[in-house]
Copies of this chain bind each other. A is one copy, B any other.
Amino acid sequence: MSLGIQEIGVYIPEKRISNLELKEKFNIDDTFIEKKIGVKQRAVKEPTEKASDLCVKAFENLKQKVDINKDEIDCCIVVTQNPDTPIPHTSAIVHAKLGLKEDCACFDISLGCSGYVYGLAVALSFMEKMGLKKGLLFTADPYSEIIDPEDKNTVLLFGDAATVTLLSEEGTLALKKALFATEGKNFEALTIKNGRLYMNGRAVFNFVLTKVPNQIKRLLEESKLSLEDIDLFLLHPGSKYMVDMLAGRLKLPKDKVPFDMLGYGNTVSSSIPIMLEKFLPKKDIKRILISGYGVGLSWASAILERV
């Protein structure tokens, strides 16, 4: 038996802010909102809610789908760049709020939109090597805490959410090959300035279109797979236009590239697991390619295979 993804819990806050109401303010139209950005409404958490609270709610969703004995959880990892506080790590606070057992490894991974691909690889490698049987991999990056409501480049795009992936020996999806890359020299295209998110949208877009298709091609090549061998491509929705352009460059059939953030926004490291959750029960989906890219600048792609 080898470790893999058993189930995914998702939490998207109910509260929504509509981009349609901002058309006049930012001089944009429906086409821009639907075809270019791909976000009509953004999910926003309550101001008092912290990353750890979103994680707890994702866990509650997970519990509705699968029986979990908390005393079996050996490992609790949170991927975030908006932690509750810098000290301690948010995973320790989640550990407290969920009442997990003492023999449980907890740490946070700081990464943005490539965070789920990394998180899966780090969590599964760590668990396997350290002999841990059951783990929780959370993603929670509430960008509403750092978005400047006057910044057209970012305010229309990001939504709050959290996910938790149950990793165990009863996994239905195994992680196969993964590739990771970094272009630190351009990190300033996506960073925090004076406590607010700053994004050079054009620079990020160009970076993604230049780098990601090559990584995906190389991943397939090194895995001795062709595009046809992949049943589903879960590409991080940087924007609708970005996903469309990526799919076009790679000549992917549209029905293999779901796009799913129109009603809640770009949820950073939660975007891929939110999409993945819907395909977990579909047994005809044998092989999934996931790819995340953004903050760092960082990009990572991996192949998941049904056990």
* Closest B residue, CB atoms, query A110: B108
A129 at the interface (CB under 8 A from B): yes
| CB <8 Å contact, B105 and A118 | yes
Q: How large is the interface on A (under 10, 10 to 19, 20 to 34, 35 or more residues)?
A: 35 or more
Chain B residues, Cβ within 8 Å of A104? 180-182
In angstroms, Cα B10 to Cα A246, docked, is: 43
A161 at the interface (CB under 8 A from B): no
Kindly report how many copies of this chain are found in the complex they form together.
Answer: 2
**A107-B110, A107-B122 given as contacts; is B81 within 8 A of A187 (CB)?**
no
| CB <8 Å contact, A122 and B111 | no
* Closest B residue, CB atoms, query A302: B130
| CB <8 Å contact, A122 and B126 | yes
Stretch in A34-42, A94-102, A227-235, A279-287 with 4+ CB within 8 Å of B: A94-102
Stretch in A11-19, A24-32, A83-91 with 4+ CB within 8 Å of B: A83-91
A93 at the interface (CB under 8 A from B): yes
| CB <8 Å contact, A182 and B124 | no
Contact with B along A107-123 (1 / 0, CB 8 A): 11111100000100110
Give A290-305 interface residues, CB cut-off 8 Å to B.
295-298, 300
| CB <8 Å contact, B105 and A108 | no
Stretch in A164-172, A189-197, A236-244 with 4+ CB within 8 Å of B: A189-197
A20 at the interface (CB under 8 A from B): no
Partner of A106, one of B103, B126, B182: B182
Q: Distance (Å) between the CB of A295 and the closest chain B CB?
A: 5
New A-B pairs, 14, CB < 8 Å, besides A81-B88, A87-B146, A89-B296: A81-B86, A82-B86, A85-B192, A88-B296, A92-B295, A92-B297, A100-B182, A102-B182, A105-B181, A106-B298, A107-B118, A107-B122, A121-B126, A122-B122
The 8 A-B pairs at the shortest CB distance, nearest first, are namely A95-B184, A96-B184, A105-B180, A125-B129, A108-B110, A125-B125, A92-B296, A89-B110
